[in-house]
Amino acid sequence: MFDRNSSMRAVGWALTILVTWFMLTDLRPDLQQAAWAIKANQGLGIPANIVLWIGVAGIGATLLYVLPWTSTLGAILLTGFLGGAVMTHMRVNGSGWDIGENVLIGMIAWAALWLRDDRLRALLPIRFT
């Protein structure tokens, strides 16, 4: 028997895992203080002593997002974090994949949360009629 809510939750969790995997993969070099990550951030005008803190902030937002009892707060913080990345890339590069990638991850994060949280769907209903 098909249960729409269970299916939506399953897709939501799959997308949540995808967002979490992306964030962990993306932030790992910052946390490890990889030389290439420090150099890349310096190219964006970010000092080397800030790179670790960017990684810590991103991991914190991601962990809050993935935990069900703090997921909404995590999504808000993750959106702010990704928005900061978008603004930084816009200021330096003006356009490019880095901007679209961060916007896309933010959109997927909210779609995943909407799919997995009945309360958020009730608060933000999507009506097709």
Q: What is the pLDDT of residue 3?
A: 85
Mark the ranges of the chain whose per-residue pLDDT is less than 70. 1, 129
Q: What is the pLDDT of residue 94?
A: 73
Q: What is the pLDDT of residue 45?
A: 92
- Provide the token pair at 37: 């990550």
The 8-class DSSP code of residue 68 comes to: G
Q: What is the pLDDT of residue 93?
A: 79
Residue 68: Cβ within 10 Å count = 12
- Residue 129 in 3-state DSSP? coil
Closest C-alpha among 122, 109, 101 to residue 16: 109
Q: What angle do CA 79, 83, 84 make, to 5 degrees?
A: 120
The upper half-sphere exposure of residue 119, i.e. CA atoms within 13 Å in the direction of its Cβ, equals: 4
For 9, 25, 97, the CA distances from 49, given in Å and listed in that order, are 40, 20, 26
17/90 Cα distance (integer angstroms): 27
Q: What is the pLDDT of residue 46?
A: 93
Model confidence pTM above 0.85: yes
Q: What is the pLDDT of residue 4?
A: 83
- Provide the token pair at 42: 């310096």
In the chain, what are the domain boundaries?
Answer: 4-123
Q: Do residues 53 and 30 lie in contact, with contact meaning Cβ atoms separated by under 8 Å? A: no
112/8 Cα distance (integer angstroms): 9
